[in-house]
């Protein structure tokens, strides 16, 4: 566990851990690159990713100590932001579901990382926010492009303008997290969820990710005919036949990932 991003695999789940607990998992350049590399290196055996963190915080955001050398002006900040955007996209477009387990602070860029995952399970003592204005800075547009669709314009502005932190209960009411658990139960609850997903039909899980991303959140406009037909593709797959057989035979299904 010496790496800033630590990777392990067991039970069909790849565990990717933010591993700078002495810095509250604040992101520096090597950590962003490590996150990109970890998602790029997922093996075919992975049926889910568990994105977790060492220590008592998920991530306090960007490592401010790095700003003086790496983000001295707008052009440097924009170039650095390109790296961050690749990391967010690597999580969001991961072909298998990503479950984030969130203890403690989840702020700034750490919140964007968490929102890039598919499911978020938070400890009851977790805190969320975007206090970037305290540094005299704005959250860049590529990050807002993750935050605003997730929580809406008004709530995004609430966090940005007030620079306040919200607790896990409010975060759940806002849809930032889907579950809040006792801090002592967070690791096992998130791991259990990831194992359950990994044991499911992987082609269907991947399809659900793609389909949910394509549904217009404003409800406007007809669905694309090609997307509509894509959603019926599992009826031609082996997991469908296995799922029906298992149901009729009253036994757990044995999905093969087809």
pLDDT tens, 52-111? 999 999 999 999 999 889 889 999 999 999 999 999 999 999 999 999 999 999 999 999
Claim to verify: residue 88 and residue 140 sit in the same structural domain? yes
Total tally of structural domains belonging to the chain: 2
3-state secondary structure the chain: CCCCEEEEEECCEEEEEECCHHHCCCECHHHHHHHHHHHHCCCCCCCEEEEEECCCCCECCECHHHHHHHCCCHHHHHHHHHHHHHHHHHHHCCCCCEEEEECCEEECHHHHHHHHCCEEEEECCCEEECHHHHHCCCCCHHHHHHHHHHHCHHHHHHHHHHCCEEEHHHHHHHCCCCEEECHHHHHHHHHHHHHHHHCCCHHHHHHHHHHHHHCCCCCCCCCCHHHHHHCCHHHHCHHHHHHHHHHHCCCCCCCCCC
Cα separation, 117 vs 51, in Å, equals 8
Tokens of residue 220, six digits: 């406007």
CATH classification of the domain holding 65: 3.90.226.10
pLDDT tops 60 at residue 218: yes
Asked whether residue 258 is domain-assigned, the answer is no
Clarify whether residues 189 and 227 are in a common domain. Answer: no
Phi, psi of 45 (to 5 degrees): -75, -15
Alpha-carbon distance of 123 to 131, in angstroms, equals 20
Q: Does one domain contain both 121 and 170?
A: yes
Q: Is residue 255 part of a domain?
A: no
pLDDT at 258 over 50: no
176 and 108, same structural domain? yes
Question: Is residue 99 packed enough to be buried (19+ CB in 10 Å), middle (13-18) or exposed (0-12)?
Answer: buried
Are residues 14 and 49 located together in one domain of the fold? Answer: yes
Same domain assignment for residues 57 and 171:
yes
Residue 15's nearest CA partner among 175, 187, 156, 130 is 187
Residues 13, 35 within the same domain: yes
Q: What's the predicted TM-score (pTM) here?
A: 0.91
Whether 41 is covered by a domain: the verdict is: yes
Would you state the pLDDT for residue 257?
A: 53
Residues 151 and 223 in one domain: no
- Provide the mean pLDDT of the chain: 92
One domain for residues 106 and 189: yes
Domain that holds residue 150: 5-198
Domain ends where: 198, 224, 240?
Answer: 198
**Residue 254 covered by a domain:** no
**Average of per-residue pLDDT across 4-19:** 96
């Amino acid at each position: 566990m010496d790496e800033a991003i630590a990777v392990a695999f067991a039970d069909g789940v790849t565990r990717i851990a933010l591993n700078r607990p002495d810095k509250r998992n604040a992101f520096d350049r090597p950590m962003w690159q490590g996150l990109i590399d970890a998602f790029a290196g997922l093996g075919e055996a992975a049926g889910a990713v568990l994105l977790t963190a060492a220590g008592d915080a998920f991530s306090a955001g960007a490592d401010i100590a790095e700003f003086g050398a790496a983000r001295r002006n707008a052009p440097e900040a924009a170039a650095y932001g390109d790296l961050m955007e690749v990391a967010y996209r690597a999580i969001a477009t991961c072909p298998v579901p990503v479950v984030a387990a969130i203890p403690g602070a989840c702020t700034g860029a750490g919140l964007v990382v968490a929102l890039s995952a598919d499911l978020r399970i938070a400890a009851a003592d977790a805190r969320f926010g975007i206090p970037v204005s305290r540094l005299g800075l704005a959250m860049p547009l590529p990050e807002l492009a993750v935050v605003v669709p997730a929580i809406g314009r008004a709530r995004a502005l609430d966090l940005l303008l007030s620079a306040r932190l919200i607790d896990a209960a409010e975060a759940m009411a806002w849809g930032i997290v889907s579950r809040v658990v006792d801090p002592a139960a967070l690791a096992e609850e998130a791991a259990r969820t990831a194992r359950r997903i990994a044991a499911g039909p992987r082609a269907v899980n991947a399809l659900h990710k793609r389909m949910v991303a394509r549904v217009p959140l404003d409800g406007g406009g007809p669905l694309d005919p090609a997307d509509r037909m894509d959603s019926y593709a599992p009826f031609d797959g082996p997991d469908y036949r296995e799922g029906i057989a298992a149901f009729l035979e009253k036994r757990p299904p044995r999905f093969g990932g087809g």
